[in-house]
Amino acid sequence: MLRVLVIDESESRAGEICAGLALAGYQVAALLPSVLDLSARVEQLRPDAILIQTDSPSRDTLEHLAVANAELPRPVVMFSSKSDSQTIRKAVKAGVSAYVVDGLSAKRLRPIIEVAIARFEEFQAMKSERDEAKQQLADRKTLDRAKGVLMKARGMSEEEAYSALRKLAMDRKQSIAQVAAQVLEMATLLGA
């Protein structure tokens, strides 16, 4: 059962949200009156999703949400009466997966949360691919620089330098990028 952390400063409205979530087949992990200490609460409760009901997301709300999203990202659904594009953009930048303006009704909860989860998962996959590509590029640059050091210091061809790095990586049971970084560290230490 999906666990949802509900944040709403209005207790009466929050009760309706919790009832709607239960009817939609979700479990309420906790009900918070504000986003203060959101990161700590997300870490403690480990909800599957976060639902925020607010009249208008304040700067503080968005900042706390951005910090929580950076530390422990979760799908976030925000219901708000504020519909200007600048507020929506700020909310999405802070980590909101679905920003809903036309109020909250129990029958809409399940599809909105499902869309938010799908968008969140897609975004996380793209972020992971981007991070992996950045790391591969950084590793490639490190490898090329290490080959250059060996070529200059030992008079090797590029192919010989690569083979030497590869053999050293296999002998040490390390990645070639780790060995290349070590070669660069030693070259710096030796002033090469």
Q: What pLDDT was estimated at residue 65?
A: 93
Please give the mean pLDDT across all residues of the chain: 92
Q: What pLDDT was estimated at residue 10?
A: 83
Tally of CA atoms within 13 A in the half-sphere of 35 that contains its CB = 21
How far is 168 from 75, CA to CA, in rounded Å? 44
Nearest residue to 7 (alpha-carbon basis) of 80, 72, 94: 80
For the chain, the structural domain boundaries read 3-104, 130-190
Please, which residues have CB within 8 angstroms of residue 33's CB and are 6 or more apart in sequence?
Answer: 7, 8, 9, 11
CATH topology agreement for domains 3-104 and 130-190: no
State the pLDDT confidence band at 104, using cuts at 50, 70 and 90: confident
Q: What pLDDT was estimated at residue 46?
A: 95
How far is 27 from 25, CA to CA, in rounded Å? 7
pLDDT digit string, tens, across residues 120-170? 999 999 999 999 999 999 999 999 999 999 999 999 999 999 999 999 999
pLDDT digit string, tens, across residues 48-69? 999 999 888 888 899 999 999 9
CATH number belonging to the domain at 3-104, selected among 1.10.3720.10, 3.40.50.2300, 3.40.50.1000, 3.30.2350.10? 3.40.50.2300
State the pLDDT confidence band at 108, using cuts at 50, 70 and 90: confident
Q: Which two tokens stand for residue 89?
A: 């953009």
How far is 9 from 168, CA to CA, in rounded Å? 60
Q: Which fold has domain 130-190?
A: Arc Repressor Mutant, subunit A (1.10.10)
Q: Which helix (H) or strand (E) element contains residue 150?
A: helix 106-154
Q: Which two tokens stand for residue 46?
A: 């480990």
Q: What pLDDT was estimated at residue 192?
A: 57
| Three-state secondary structure call for residue 165 | helix
Please, which residues have CB within 8 angstroms of residue 17's CB and are 6 or more apart in sequence?
Answer: 6, 8, 51, 53, 104
Q: Which amino acid is at 184?
A: L
